[in-house]
Amino acid sequence: MLAELGEDPEREGLARTPQRVAHSLAELTAGMRQTVDEVVGHGVFKEDISEMILVKDIEFYSLCEHHMLPFYGRIHVGYIPDGKIIGLSKIPRIVDVFSRRLQVQERMTVQIAEAIESILKPKGVGVVADGKHLCMMMRGVQKQNSSTTTSCLRGSFQSDPKTRNEYLSFVRSIP
């Protein structure tokens, strides 16, 4: 790749670049080698709670599978338990499983919702992701201030307008 760009791969500053890039890509795609079950472990607990739980502003970093350029932002995950809750730190770990891979934001948002739904069988789950994509900011249309918002609403978050509105209002209003 360096030679294709017109660089001298033997130049001092570039001599170890292939190894550094390989190490970096392995770290940035670590989610491909993890499972949700591994990161959740024993972090699911029986609880008789029926109120919405929201973990907001979870930072994520990912690589666009089309250009292998980063996209990053924040994800908000909410759910209404149905007899089980998950340890709060497990939710960002689930986000990392799906964000730390070659990915598209649209799929990542759905995968996170599906994982929460599969583990907890909640009454409803909602995931909203807001991301900035360097493939749009640095190349192509070069729109530095653009962002992309995706959502996946399941169960009562999709079927009950009151629940959906409560969740979306929490996402928008809590600092």
Residues catalogued as catalytic: 64-67, 105, 133, 135
Q: How far apart are the C-alpha atoms of 76 and 116, rounded to whole Å?
A: 12
Q: Hey, what are 78's tokens?
A: 């909410």
Q: How far apart are the C-alpha atoms of 52 and 85, rounded to whole Å?
A: 11
3-class secondary-structure state, position 145: coil
Q: How far apart are the C-alpha atoms of 46 and 57, rounded to whole Å?
A: 26
Q: How far apart are the C-alpha atoms of 75 and 97, rounded to whole Å?
A: 13
8 Å CB contact between 3 and 9: yes
**Which DSSP state fits 35?**
-
Give the Cα-Cα-Cα angle 14, 18, 21 (nearest 5 degrees).
110
